[in-house]
């Protein structure tokens, strides 16, 4: 009987001394931080690739340094990291997580979408390169100026911005 009570006491003691879950949580936090750093580096690389194309002329259907349209630029930039996007801006707007209600969460590497003509369909795209309180700067291929940096503070883009997606 003494042995039985001793084993019960020992079992209760061992069970109450088991490790706690924060260790698992901290591993998740480390993985999360590691993943965030990896995503940030990937976004920076994509921005560098887009930046290398500033000044390239606009060319409808273009996906090379000979000329880009907006979705062709995004297609080529993301393809540099083996991320395959659809070939037009409307189809690209269906990829990733839509952040519209969470504009305060926009970050570098996200895609910004616009409706720049009279139709009700997205027809323009750019990649976010900088985020400030009330401004998003992005690289895109403009029909009139080719690959440039623009801002959502510019009235044209402020009035036509309709969607922001996280692809990374």
Is residue 3 annotated as a catalytic residue, yes or no?
no
Read off the tokens for 12.
Answer: 């209760």
CA distances from 121 to 12, 16, 52, 90, 160 (A): 65, 61, 29, 7, 11
161 SS3 class: strand
How far apart, in whole angstroms, are the C-alpha atoms of residue 89 and residue 96?
13
CB 151 within 8 A of CB 59: no
Residue-level length of the chain: 168
CB 69 within 8 A of CB 62: yes
CB atoms within 10 A of CB 26: 10
Catalytic residue (one of 3, 17, 45, 124): 124
Nearest to 74 by CA among 61, 63, 58, 90: 63
Which residues are designated catalytic?
Answer: 70, 124, 140
């Amino acid at each position: 009987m003494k042995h039985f009570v001793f084993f019960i006491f020992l079992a209760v003691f061992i069970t109450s001394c088991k490790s706690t879950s924060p260790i698992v949580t901290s591993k998740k936090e480390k993985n999360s931080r590691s993943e965030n750093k990896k995503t940030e580096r990937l976004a920076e690389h994509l921005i560098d690739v887009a930046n290398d194309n500033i000044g390239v002329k606009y060319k409808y259907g273009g996906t090379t340094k000979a000329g880009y349209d907006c979705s062709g630029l995004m297609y080529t930039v993301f393809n540099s990291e083996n991320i395959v996007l659809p070939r037009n801006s409307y189809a690209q707007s269906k990829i990733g997580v839509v952040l519209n209600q969470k504009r305060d969460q926009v970050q570098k590497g996200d895609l910004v979408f616009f409706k720049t003509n009279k139709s009700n369909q997205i027809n323009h795209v750019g990649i976010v390169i900088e985020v400030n309180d009330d401004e998003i700067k992005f690289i895109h291929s403009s029909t009139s100026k080719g690959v440039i940096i623009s801002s959502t503070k510019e009235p044209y883009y402020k009035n036509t911005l309709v969607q922001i997606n996280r692809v990374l």
